[in-house]
Amino acid sequence: MARISYMEAARQALAEEMRRDPLVWAVGEDLGRGGVFGQYRGLVEEFGSARISDAPISEAAILGASVGAAMMGTRPVVEMRFSDFALCAVDELVNQAAKARFMFGGQTRVPMVVREPIGMWRSSAAQHSQSLESWYAHIPGLVVACPATPADNKGMLKSAIRCDDPVVYMEHKNLWPLEDEVPDGEHLVPFGVARTLREGRDVTIVSWSAQVHVCARAAETLAQHRIEAEVIDLRTLWPWDQETVLASVSRTGRLLIAHEAVQVGGFGAEIAAVTAEWLGAKVRRLGAPRAPIGYAPTVEDAVRVTEAATVAAVREMVGR
């Protein structure tokens, strides 16, 4: 165990996997200088510029070339810089990477990790702040991972690199400096297994990525109001851990899903629908209003799902 940052955890994961498997390589803009956020710092010195490869600002080529390289037996880790920019490569991800195995009748696999940092981060405005995870959860063939902690950013990135499916790996930009204990060496977090970070009998709160930390703080506040909230970090949106969520809601009878992404068509809707179908439980969603994200802090904060909003929603559900 060592106390390291969310960013350093991912850097260690990639370095360990590259040492273990010579077919793993990373490609994206500015990687030779450590990447836009520093998450590749020092790696080119160890692995060389062929395996920690710079790329032109050509999102379609970065992603599309990685599809070809993956079909030829290598395991690319693709850096898209911002999930917003990955929209320039939606054909390559959705029509090509996600479908090659199926439409070619199982003749190939596309083992690639597509790193798409998400989320609001210091007045980054409308084209550098979005949380688009639900888009990819909708696409058969893709795995969607949204780590919330340093330990998970190590264990989930290692699992993503070893996965034979294309994995959309969405780190939250605001979590880069977050520090916590991270296991050394071989630490693998399986996909589709949620993490219950707090147990409680009154309500189940499901979230993922940075919003998990907002929910954890809300749960502390709720405890002062004698409301015991169970908080579940979903970790992966596809596959998502229905068993853990449904088991929790069957005990608490109430479910709140909170996410930073726009509420309309967000993944919270899917979780709410499944829970209602199976348990008929009382469900509620908290997501952003359907508005672009603004630059000014006041405008940015106006669409943020806050701790206060989470507390208020739960108190209304519980009735105290």
Partner 1 sequence: MSETPRRNIDIARLRAHHLTMCRIRALEEAALRGLGDKVVLGAIHPSIGQEAVAAGVVGALRRDDILLSTHRGHGHTLAKGASSEAMLRELFGRVGGNCGGKGGSMHIADFEVGMLGANGVVGANIVIAAGAAHAIKLKGEDKVVCCIFGDGAINRGPFLEGLNWAAVFGLPVLFVCEDNGFAATTRTASMTAGGGPAVRARAIGLPAEEVDGNDVLAVEDTAQAMIAAIRAGGGPRFLHAKTYRLTGHTGVDTAPYRPADEVAARKREEPILRAADLLRGAGVAEAEIEADRIAAEAEMSAAYDAAIAAPFPGPEAAFLDVQDVGSPALGAF
Q: Which residues are catalytic?
A: 128
For partner 1, the closer of residues 274 and 309 by Cβ is 274
* 281-293 core/surface letters (b: 16 or more CB in 10 A; e: else): bbbbbbbbeeeeb
Q: Is 257 in the site for partner 1 (CB under 8 A)?
A: no
Q: Please report which helix (H) or strand (E) contains residue 288, including its range.
A: strand 282-288
**Minimum distance, C-beta of residue 30 to partner 1, in the bound complex (Å):** 15
* Contact window for partner 1 (CB under 8 A) among 114-122, 135-143, 180-188, 204-212: 135-143
Among 9, 16, 25, 172, binds partner 1 (CB under 8 A): 25
| Cβ atoms of 238 and 165 closer than 8 Å | no
| Cβ atoms of 232 and 170 closer than 8 Å | no
Q: Is 135 in the site for partner 1 (CB under 8 A)?
A: no
Concatenate the DSSP letters of all residues of 143-162 into one string.
EEE---SHHHHHHHHHHHHH
Among 4, 18, 70, 157, binds partner 1 (CB under 8 A): 70
The three-state secondary structure class of 309 is: helix
Q: Is 29 in the site for partner 1 (CB under 8 A)?
A: no
Considering only CA atoms, which of 72, 96, 106 is closest in space to residue 166? 96
Concatenate the DSSP letters of all residues of 74-140 into one string.
-EEEEE-SSTTGGGGGHIIIIIIITTHHHHTTTS-----EEE--BS--SS--TTS----HHHHHTST
**Minimum distance, C-beta of residue 57 to partner 1, in the bound complex (Å):** 9
**Minimum distance, C-beta of residue 91 to partner 1, in the bound complex (Å):** 6
Q: Is 66 in the site for partner 1 (CB under 8 A)?
A: yes
Q: Is 280 in the site for partner 1 (CB under 8 A)?
A: no
**Minimum distance, C-beta of residue 254 to partner 1, in the bound complex (Å):** 27
**Footprint of partner 1 on 165-194 (CB under 8 A):** 165, 191-192
Task: By CB under 8 A, name the binding residues for partner 1.
Answer: 23, 25, 50-51, 55-56, 58, 60-61, 63-74, 76, 91-92, 95-96, 100-108, 140-143, 163-165, 191-192, 238-239
